[in-house]
A and B are shown apart, each in its own frame.
Chain A
Amino acid sequence: MLAADGELTSAERAELAGDPATEASVHELGALVRGHLELAADEAEPRFADLWDLIERRLDVDEEPVERAAEPAGSRWAAVRSWFSGHRSHLATGLISAGAVAALAFALRPAPTEREVVRAPPAILQIDTALSASPPEVESLDVTGGSGTVFTITDEDGETAVIWVDLDDPADVTEGI
């Protein structure tokens, strides 16, 4: 086989008695294999033109990131603008969603009248009392069904006595003190 494949040195070839028949069979087998593959290449010939087109398209894809990186950076404002223009749809979706949530929250807010009733302070009774020159002082007051506090407020108009009544039962309105 080495002789058939030309792997022997000239000295080895001279030394060895070759087997021409086996050598010929090896050569023939090789020729048959070569011929078979060459004919296969012939059959694929019509597709080779498309092959280059496919390769070129992939080479174009390979080179795209390199071209993008080579572009000039531009101003920061241009970058911001380009970012917005690239994300326009996302921004619009976000704004619409936020508006919808705000509208829903507004529509579902509680009725204001209930709050006014809840927030209604207990009845406050103001009585003009004899004002004294002494500073305002806080006094307690016994009230049926609750408790009261009397304190005097001094302002630019003079002094005002305020009686603050806390009722045990807010529904129980006092007739007067």
Chain B
Amino acid sequence: MSKRAGLATAPAVGEPPAARVAPIAPVPAVPGDDRALVALAQQGDRGAFRSLFERYHRRAYALAFGVVRNQDDALDVVQDAFIKAHRHLDKFEGQASFYTWLYRIVMNLAIDHLRKHKRHKPVDFTDQALDESVSEDALLPKIIGGNPGRALLDKEIRGRIGEALGGLSENHRSVLVMRELEGLSYEEMATAMSCSKGTIMSRLFHARKNMQRQLADLYPGGAVDKDAGDSPEDGDAVESSTPDASS
């Protein structure tokens, strides 16, 4: 289920190379390596904990940055997350992977950081009640350019994506980042955010819709109605209006 990050798509002949984007972190060859490192770190082996840091700090940073959207803040969140993980290492029982445990700490700290510092800009769109009959057709069946790596070479497009992420609410942005960066299932995200699967689905749907709306002019034809109201922030009320699974 996990979608590994990485945009190393092969360019077509005559086309410029795609953006050289390093994958966030390679998956450990042997998952048991993490358990061994955690066991050593629990006994006070600082080198083992550093190895865990080296493996996951970049991924943790990307996750934090996706939520807080500020380099300094993201570094603070990652620092606090590893400190907290070290302090509570004795409570880690190994039922989930170390990174699963770590990313939950990162997400919680990132959201707490946002709420404490209120750097998040309010969304300009007005809220409106979710139409219970909303269907998947509301998501644009269009793509920007077909080669995301190439698109990201364009600084303007990259900037627009950053702005579009910033235009989402913290809950919408969190689920989108968790889904796209970590490849978590709906169930896993629901557990991480302590809400229902239906809420996760609703938030994810609206996050993507809002992203498309904000990037409307980048799509061929720019056919999205920018004046349409925004989605509600909280998906709790819309569990019964699960988006159609037709796509």
Stretch at the interface among B91-99, B104-112, B180-188: B180-188
Nearest residue (CB) in B for A19 is B247
Asked if B162 lies at the interface with its beta carbon under 8 angstroms from chain A, I say yes
The listed residue (B66, B148, B180, B245) touching A8 by CB distance below 8 A is: B245
Which applies to chain A's interface (DSSP): helix, strand, loop or mixed?
A: helix
Which A residues are within 8 Å of any B CB, using their own CB? 1-8, 12, 16-19, 21-26, 28-45, 47-48, 51-52, 54-56, 58-59, 62
Q: A8-B245, A22-B247, A32-B148 are in contact. Are A38 and B24 (CB under 8 A)?
A: yes
Residue of B nearest to A8 (CB): B245
| Interchain CA distance A44-B212 in the complex, whole Å | 27
Q: List 8 A-B contacts (CB under 8 A).
A: A2-B201, A7-B185, A22-B140, A25-B142, A36-B158, A44-B71, A51-B57, A55-B83
Q: A30-B3, A36-B158 are contacts. A42–B79 as well, Cβ < 8 Å?
A: no
The bracket for how many chain B residues form the interface is: 35 or more
Contact A40 B71 (CB under 8 A): yes
Contact B86 A21 (CB under 8 A): no
The prevalent SS among residues of B at the interface is helix
User: B204 contacts the other chain (Cβ, under 8 Å)?
Assistant: yes
Cα distance, A66 to B140, chains bound together (Å) = 58
- The contact of A38 among B3, B21, B139, by CB within 8 Å, is B21
A58, B83: Cβ atoms closer than 8 Å: yes
Minimum C-beta distance from B53 to chain A (A): 6
Contact of A44 (CB < 8 Å), options: B19, B74, B86, B211: B74
Q: Complex: how many Å from CA A113 to CA B20? A: 103
Q: Is the CB of B1 within 8 A of A6?
A: yes
Known pairs A41-B62, A55-B53; A28 contacts B177 (CB<8 A): no
CB–CB A25/B143 < 8 A: yes
Is B176 part of the contact surface with A, judged by Cβ < 8 Å?
yes
The proximity string for B residues 204-221 relative to A, scoring 1 for CB distances below 8 Å and 0 otherwise, is 110010011000000000
Q: Give A48 to B137 CA distance when docked, in angstroms.
A: 43
Max chain B C-beta neighbours (<10 A), residue from A2, A21, A35, A51: A35
Contacts of A25 in B (CB 8 A): 139-143, 212
Given A22-B136, A22-B139: A1 in contact with B21 (beta carbons within 8 A)? no
Asked whether B192 is an interface residue with its Cβ less than 8 Å from the other chain, the reply is no
Q: Does B5 contact A (CB under 8 A)?
A: yes
Cβ–Cβ contact B247 & A29, under 8 A? no
Select which of A30, A35, A59 is within 8 A of B179 by beta carbon. Answer: A30
Contacts of B141 in A (CB 8 A): 19, 21-22, 24-25
Pair B7/A38 contact, Cβ less than 8 Å: yes
> Roughly how many angstroms separate A95 CA and B1 CA in the complex, as a whole number?
75
Cβ of B92 to closest chain A Cβ, rounded Å? 16
**When the two chains form the complex, which single residue of B1, B161, B243 contacts A36, counting CB atoms closer than 8 Å?**
B161
With A5-B179, A52-B50, A62-B86 in contact, do A17 and B1 touch (Cβ < 8 Å)?
A: no
Q: Which of A30, A35, A47 contacts B75 (CB under 8 A)?
A: A47
Interface residue ranges of B73-92 to A (CB < 8 Å):
74-75, 78-79, 82-83, 86-87
